[in-house]
Structure 1
């Protein structure tokens, strides 16, 4: 008697093979339906896998449904932030309209409200936060899935605190993320390699695929999450809170995101980052008090800061390797 009472599923979709591979099950081997594949498996395979047919069928159906959208980034043409009010209740003056590839720096003293603005964007506020701001996605209010569903959210956030509690090697962690997005094995491996290469290039301190997550330094952890958000996350909006203290190549980090066509908003006190943006928002008393677009003179100063930062990076690298810094320090104009 068969133990397969549920309906059958055809295996014509190539993602069915991906599902079996992700769950470490034998390949399709020419079978055209899930039931025929299941009944052809030895009892030892069934017992070791921990499945029964109905659970396997439900899991495959859910995988096919989820993977139809999992690897596709939401289409975002515009992100608008409509004015709210400051900490005194006075109306905010500036409305913002951001597009893919924009880099927006948030500047202002500690406590001015930079993190609050990032939080309003992260939750796609609809007048229901302390500031009263309203966020529009492609000119309209976001649907509930974009606000409250983890899979439907369009925003990824990289915070100041990057503490891993998973006791896994870096590559295994990245593969888990790729599998959660239902990427086929060959695409997953390619994404893992890109994330690793980019993270190591940004961090300055090399680490490998077998390095344990819990052994990464602060800079390595932040670099890994930046590269992961760039290559493995489909979210089109990236929020970054204080990247300058992480010990990463900040210019390269921003380039990764803009190369992927993402909108980046970052809270910063760093002149190099503040001048890197499409514009910078001056935050005072909980509100956007000014929107500054860089002038030609500021763009030239940004170029000089990039040059100076590279020289300082070379000095940091020399110190890491135990060298003395005895020669007179001269930073020529580039």
Structure 2
């Protein structure tokens, strides 16, 4: 390849990068979920409007349809899923090009289980992701993501750690930090993080600070009450939308105090310490 060919190749690559930048995911001012049908084929009475910075929890028994709702949002369903729901973006159906685009992803999803199969270090993985996202200067971003992940995880790790050697909690913490700091997707779906071994409240605060719409399927009362609203799923349909009340917020404070005590006990167990203090000393509000 001579000099002119090399320059032409560089110009072509620059054009492709500019095209990727200009085709980033559009701003989502409002997301609307329109009801479909339940598992018996009966109409679902639902029109739910969500805006950036809002956290909505999704609750219901196992098998009720929580994951189906998240799946409908993930694929921006247009009546073409088993639920028959439709998703509107800024009060209009998303164009097919946006629904099926590989680089304009409106939705990021954090699933119940995450495992890495790539033979990379944490630092190399984040750097590669940052470059793919055109997120800015790579070095500082790698440091920020790892620092944030360590703030969420119970077990710290560094940039040289192998991805495949991370624990479940470390993996989840890394992906939450990655989603918050590197992902341009304005909508985040979370399918049960209560058993992930991370600081759940900090995780949600990090995502909401980036002005993302967050929907979270959960069985955890603390996570459910952290939401502005919670959707109650039964029989494959949303049967109620509950605004979190002031009384529930007060109960949340007590539940968080209990959770902090349990977290302290977990840390003692991890450190090989004995758990032989009277329960009353660990739970002062029971005295």
- TM-score grouping bracket, smaller chain normalisation: over 0.9
Judge conservation of contact 2:32–2:88 (CA < 8 Å) in 1. Answer: yes
Structure number with greater Rg is: 1
- Counterpart check, 1:316 vs 2:266: yes
Tell me which of 98, 101, 120 is aligned to 2:72: 120
Structure 2: runs of 5+ lacking an equivalent = none
Q: Deviations over 1:45-72 (max 9, x none)?
A: xxxxxxxxx54443232123223455xx
Q: TM-score, normalised by structure 1?
A: 0.81
Structure 1: runs of 5+ lacking an equivalent = 7-33, 36-53
- Quote the offset at 1:97 in angstroms: 0.3
Q: State how far apart, in whole Å, the 1-side matches of 2:125 and 2:253 are.
A: 37
Q: Deviations over 1:161-198 (max 9, x none)?
A: 201001111011000000001234xx322222221111
Q: Deviations over 1:174-227 (max 9, x none)?
A: 00000001234xx32222222111111111111111110000000000010011
**Alignment match, 2:222:** 272
Aligned residue for 1:275, secondary structure, equals helix
Judge conservation of contact 1:104–1:266 (CA < 8 Å) in 2. Answer: yes
Q: State how far apart, in whole Å, the 2-side matches of 1:261 and 1:58 are.
A: 34
Judge conservation of contact 2:135–2:182 (CA < 8 Å) in 1. Answer: no
**Alignment match, 1:292:** 242
**Alignment match, 1:59:** 13
Q: TM-score, normalised by structure 2?
A: 0.94
Judge conservation of contact 1:92–1:287 (CA < 8 Å) in 2. Answer: yes
**Alignment match, 1:130:** 82
- Inter-CA distance 326–314: structure 2 relative to 1 (3 Å threshold): same
**Alignment match, 2:120:** 168
**Alignment match, 2:231:** 281
Tell me which of 96, 104, 111 is aligned to 1:152: 104
Q: State how far apart, in whole Å, the 2-side matches of 1:301 and 1:198 are.
A: 29
Q: State how far apart, in whole Å, the 1-side matches of 2:154 and 2:54 are.
A: 26
- Counterpart check, 1:326 vs 2:276: yes
Tell me which of 145, 150, 153 is aligned to 1:203: 153
**Alignment match, 1:15:** none
**Alignment match, 1:30:** none
Aligned residue for 1:111, secondary structure, equals coil
- Quote the offset at 1:251 in angstroms: 0.4
Aligned residue for 1:145, secondary structure, equals helix
Judge conservation of contact 2:122–2:159 (CA < 8 Å) in 1. Answer: yes
Q: State how far apart, in whole Å, the 1-side matches of 2:208 and 2:171 are.
A: 21
Q: Which has the higher contact order (CA 8 A, sep 6+)?
A: 2
CA RMSD of aligned residues (A): 1.7
Q: State how far apart, in whole Å, the 2-side matches of 1:95 and 1:169 are.
A: 44
Size of the aligned set, in residue pairs, is 284
Give the 5 Å matches for 1:218-233: 218-233=168-183
Q: State how far apart, in whole Å, the 1-side matches of 2:214 and 2:78 are.
A: 20
Q: State how far apart, in whole Å, the 2-side matches of 1:90 and 1:332 are.
A: 50
**Alignment match, 2:33:** 81
Judge conservation of contact 1:86–1:286 (CA < 8 Å) in 2. Answer: yes
